Amino acid sequence: MLLWPTLAVIAGVIVLVISADKFVEGAAATAKRLGLPPLLIGMLVIGFGSSMPEMVISAISSYQGNPGLAVGNAIGSNITNIALILGVTAIISPIIVDSKVLTRELPYLAGITMLSAILFYTDDELDRMDGIILIVVFLALVAWSIYEGLSVKKDHLADMVEQEYSQPMSMRLALTYTFIGLVFLVLSSRLLVWGGVEIAQSFGISDLIIGLTIVAVGTSLPELASSIAAVRKGEDELALGNVIGSNMFNSTIVLGIAGTIAPSTLDPEVLKYDIPVMAALTALLFIMGYKFRGIGTGIINRLEAGLLLLAYIGYNISIGFRVMA
């Protein structure tokens, strides 16, 4: 009977969106109360918090013996972040990349995506060594974010973070948001994983497909909500920063957790379809957003946003054909 699994997925997604939003809000306010620079909050705290749903689901699904869901969630979230979230937000308001830090992050995202693809195609596996390598890359990324956040005194992204979190919040309320948000994030993730696996088994489809679609969209909804809110306030680079940070963390710590807890052989369809789509969209984002010494416009306009949305629709249609095949 699919009633309870379906309700579990719906409830899990709703609670996950709310709890992830409160977790990020609380964590950012706590960091600000502790005196962390706005740029560091934007690069590390918000990016880390935005990927917390994927991290929790990766750990839970891997521990419960569903590594396909963990891998599908990470890759599907990256695809959703670029094609759907940036597509929707840039149609609402074109994204102008003035932040030097974001300009430097785009090549790093491309490099991390390439590294993960190389690890996967080397032996068609996400094994424990791959997981350790990706976690080490994540730690290096955190160290770089801390260095940039502390050393760069002026950046457009920092100004937007300062504007977004200009309303003061008491330390007690900030810690309460962070703690309660994390607790409900874990509970909702468990509910979402259980419902997704039950639905997949009932229809005879792989948990990978559920991870690429339902779970990926569910875990990306907090970024969608925050990105739309950001561009409506004119904080378009905050929306882009959320996506870049989330994708870098998904490609390192989220996949690293999955490989370390539950090493697995990758589904051939992941290698044939999903990783190439993720890599192509990452390259497209780099081309659209990169601006260096006269190279590139540094603007994601509405036409490009429309192309991203068409790519997302086409990708999901292809998944439909894969399920029916």
Count of structural domains, the chain: 1
Largest pairwise CA distance in the chain:
59
pLDDT per position as a tens digit, 130-155: 999 999 999 999 999 999 888 887 88
Q: How far apart are CA 288 and CA 286, in angstroms?
A: 6
Per-residue pLDDT, 291? 67
Domain containing residue 287:
3-324
Per-residue pLDDT, 156? 80
pLDDT, mean over the chain = 90
Average pLDDT over residues 300-314: 95
What is the pTM (predicted TM-score) of this model?
0.93
Other Cβ atoms closer than 10 A to 264 = 18
The secondary element (H helix, E strand) that includes residue 314 is helix 302-324
Query: What is the CATH number for 14?
Result: 1.20.1420.30
Per-residue pLDDT, 297? 60
Is the CA virtual torsion 253, 138, 28, 163 positive or negative? negative
Residue 119's identity, in one-letter code, is: L
Q: Residue 266 carries which DSSP code? A: P
More confident residue, 113 or 51: 113
Per-residue pLDDT, 167? 76
Average pLDDT over residues 22-43: 90
Beta strands in the chain (DSSP E): 95-96, 125-126, 264-265, 299-300
Q: How many helices (H) and strands (E) does the chain have?
A: 17, 4
Average pLDDT over residues 40-67: 89
Q: Residue 3 carries which DSSP code? A: H
- The two structure tokens encoding residue 296: 């590139």
Per-residue pLDDT, 264? 93
Say yes or no to pLDDT of 294 above 80: no
Per-residue pLDDT, 125? 95
pLDDT per position as a tens digit, 95-112: 888 788 888 899 999 999
- The two structure tokens encoding residue 164: 């977004």
Q: Which of 41-45, 135-139, 259-263, 282-286 is least confident?
A: 41-45
Q: Which of 19-23, 233-237, 276-280 is least confident?
A: 233-237
Residue 184's identity, in one-letter code, is: F
pLDDT per position as a tens digit, 209-257: 999 998 999 888 888 888 888 888 888 788 888 899 999 999 999 999 9
Q: Residue 93 carries which DSSP code? A: S
Say yes or no to pLDDT of 68 above 80: yes
Question: Do 69 and 12 touch, CB atoms closer than 8 A?
Answer: no
Q: How far apart are CA 249 and CA 54, in angstroms?
A: 9
